[in-house]
């Protein structure tokens, strides 16, 4: 990557304007599918964004943020966490068991539970911290070999395991295959959630959040449409 062109942080008014636009689109998509205006909440995906962009979103009233790496999130939110009222942080990236305690300490919801061993580590961390651990189960709806998430057919088993371990299982999360129409994946996630009596559905990103709302999303995760393109590419490593 080159740094030849200066790539200024969008002025806070740009973030505020985009936030307003996304909120309007969420409301419009909700109404178009007969849902109430506040059924789908916006998770602002702040990974890799500079502090100015975060502060602009906070100033514009955004309180729910998603991060995909524990360490980066600690740096970004450790101090803000203590001064921003009503902040909700959601982990949306892969988590290693040895980072479970850090994740439980920082995040309000961990959206990426995808294996029994991690469920056990999170439950143990929650016990030590004396706080309930709220999770979503990430489902690999496209059964992609390289992608995190439990296979659809194994979702029920993992939900049972997580509940037995003492976790608060709120719902399901998915990231559909990039090259496929997302609708069928959202529909599958909704079907799995209903089958297991779960109501929270985290699905939909910048390119497809309106579709996700049509299929029942309760949380949409929007990054680039809100903050602009990320400044450096993500590396897919776990942390």
Ligand X SMILES: *Cc1c(COP(=O)(O)O)cnc(C)c1O
List of residues contacting ligand X (CB under 6 A):
45, 47, 68, 92-93, 175, 205-207, 221-225
Our CB check for ligand X shows the closer of 127 and 181 to be 181
In whole angstroms, the minimum distance from the beta carbon of 130 to ligand X comes to 29
Q: Are 138 and 148 in contact (CB under 8 A)?
A: yes
In whole angstroms, the minimum distance from the beta carbon of 166 to ligand X comes to 25
Query: From CA 162, how far away is CA 132, in angstroms rounded?
Result: 12
Q: Are 135 and 168 in contact (CB under 8 A)?
A: yes
Other beta carbons within 10 angstroms of residue 208's beta carbon come to: 20
Q: Which residues have a Cβ under 8 Å from the Cβ of 3 and sit 6 or more positions away?
A: none
Our CB check for ligand X shows the closer of 30 and 48 to be 48
In whole angstroms, the minimum distance from the beta carbon of 91 to ligand X comes to 10
Q: Which residue is nearest to ligand X (CB)?
A: 223
In whole angstroms, the minimum distance from the beta carbon of 33 to ligand X comes to 20
Our CB check for ligand X shows the closer of 193 and 212 to be 212
Q: Are 158 and 137 in contact (CB under 8 A)?
A: yes
Our CB check for ligand X shows the closer of 60 and 92 to be 92
Indicate the helix (H) or strand (E) that contains 89.
strand 88-91
In whole angstroms, the minimum distance from the beta carbon of 206 to ligand X comes to 3
Q: Which residues have a Cβ under 8 Å from the Cβ of 130 and sit 6 or more positions away?
A: none
Our CB check for ligand X shows the closer of 93 and 152 to be 93
Our CB check for ligand X shows the closer of 167 and 175 to be 175
In whole angstroms, the minimum distance from the beta carbon of 133 to ligand X comes to 19
Nearest to 45 by CA among 21, 19, 26, 20: 19
End-to-end CA distance of the chain: 22
| Tokens at 23, concatenated | 């909120």
Our CB check for ligand X shows the closer of 43 and 155 to be 43
Strand partners, 173: 138, 202
| Tokens at 132, concatenated | 């309930």
In whole angstroms, the minimum distance from the beta carbon of 169 to ligand X comes to 18
DSSP character at residue 149 = S
């Amino acid at each position: 990557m080159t740094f030849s062109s200066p790539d200024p942080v969008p002025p806070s008014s740009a973030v505020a304007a985009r936030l307003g636009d996304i909120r309007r689109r969420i409301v419009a998509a909700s109404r178009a599918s007969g849902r109430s205006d506040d059924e789908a909440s916006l998770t602002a995906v702040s990974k890799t964004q500079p502090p100015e962009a975060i502060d602009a979103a906070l100033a514009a009233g955004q309180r729910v943020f998603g991060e995909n790496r524990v360490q980066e999130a600690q740096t970004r939110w450790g101090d803000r966490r203590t001064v921003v009222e009503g902040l909700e942080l959601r982990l949306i990236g892969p988590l290693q068991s040895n980072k479970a305690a850090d994740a439980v300490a920082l995040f309000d919801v961990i959206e990426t539970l995808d294996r029994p061993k991690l469920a056990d580590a999170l439950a143990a961390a929650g016990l030590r911290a004396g706080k309930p651990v709220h999770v979503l189960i990430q489902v690999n709806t496209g059964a992609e070999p390289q992608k995190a998430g439990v296979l659809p057919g194994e979702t029920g088993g993992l939900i049972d395991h997580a509940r037995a371990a003492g976790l608060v299982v709120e719902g399901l999360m998915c990231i559909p295959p990039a090259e496929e129409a997302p609708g069928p994946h959202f529909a599958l996630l909704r079907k799995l959630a209903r089958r297991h009596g779960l109501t929270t559905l985290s699905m939909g990103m910048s390119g497809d959040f309106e579709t996700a709302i049509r299929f029942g999303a309760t949380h949409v995760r929007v990054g680039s449409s809100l903050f602009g393109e990320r400044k450096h590419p993500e590396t897919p490593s776990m942390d």
